[in-house]
């Protein structure tokens, strides 16, 4: 998984977004957090926190958030955003690989938004076992997981994200992985690419069959409306 750090650091450097809009867009995830966790939930562990929008939005609601992020430029962004929004004291930022991070704390909920599947099945199982160890008794896990049928359907679709920045989706049917490539205009041969393993709910049940986690809820979603360029969030717990 050597590609992971390089892809995300490059993605964050290429894609310019609005802090205000991104923080506002976290409300859908916060609603799911409230829906599927008890009111006593206070401590959140977020894996792969990106630029920190969910962590900061949750901290603004009073949650204590620990976020593990691998990309160095994203870690700096989380720090600056948390400071800017006045919640730095409520966020613990860990700049490490969450496959290797050692944590002594336990959490009410572990969240992993938009990124599950970076490894193979065995590596996913290793991570899920680690997640289980980080949970308090009765804790919840909220994860975005890609399904194969959606990515097979849109394989080959290319789009312009913003002026001069392009993205293309493909699907590896043999290994059941979505492929996501980014490049600057006129530099397609210098693209950066991520690949994520896709799972149907039945596949996920098989994946966790030897892990003390139980699949309790699936919500379909996460589909992009390409005419309006609006993303609809989905989720599994």
Domain ranges of the chain: 3-142
Select the CATH number that applies to the domain covering 3-142 from these four: 3.10.129.10, 3.40.50.150, 3.40.120.10, 1.20.1630.10: 3.40.50.150
The arrangement of strands across the sheet holding 158-162 comes to 158-162, 165-172, 177-184, 192-197
Q: Is the pLDDT of residue 235 over 70?
A: no
Q: Number of H helices and number of E strands within the chain?
A: 8, 13
Classified as helix, coil or strand, 81 is helix
Interval 31-89: pLDDT, tens: 999 999 988 999 999 999 999 999 999 999 999 999 999 999 999 999 999 999 999 99
Interval 91-122: pLDDT, tens: 999 999 999 999 999 999 999 999 999 999 99
Classified as helix, coil or strand, 87 is coil
């Amino acid at each position: 998984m050597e590609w992971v750090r390089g892809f995300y650091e490059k993605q964050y450097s290429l894609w310019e977004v609005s802090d205000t809009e991104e923080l506002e867009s976290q409300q859908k995830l916060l609603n799911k957090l409230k829906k599927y966790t008890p009111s006593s939930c206070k401590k959140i562990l977020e894996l792969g926190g990106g630029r920190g929008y969910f962590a900061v939005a949750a901290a603004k609601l009073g949650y204590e958030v620990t976020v593990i992020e691998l990309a160095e430029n994203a870690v700096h962004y989380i720090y600056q955003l948390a400071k800017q929004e006045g919640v730095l004291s409520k966020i613990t930022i860990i700049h490490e690989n969450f496959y290797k991070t050692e944590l002594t704390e336990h959490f009410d909920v572990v969240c992993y938004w938009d990124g599950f599947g970076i490894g193979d099945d065995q590596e996913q199982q290793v991570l899920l076992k680690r997640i289980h160890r980080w949970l308090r008794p009765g804790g919840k896990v909220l994860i975005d997981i890609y399904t194969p049928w959606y990515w097979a359907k849109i394989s080959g679709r290319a789009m312009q994200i913003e002026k001069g920045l392009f993205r293309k989706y493909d699907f590896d049917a043999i290994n059941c992985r979505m492929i996501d490539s980014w490049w600057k205009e006129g530099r397609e041969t210098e693209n950066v690419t991520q690949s994520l393993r896709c799972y149907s709910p039945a596949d996920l049940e098989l994946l966790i069959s030897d892990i003390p986690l139980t699949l309790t809820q699936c919500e379909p979603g996460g589909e992009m409306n390409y005419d309006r360029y609006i993303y609809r969030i989905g989720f599994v717990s």
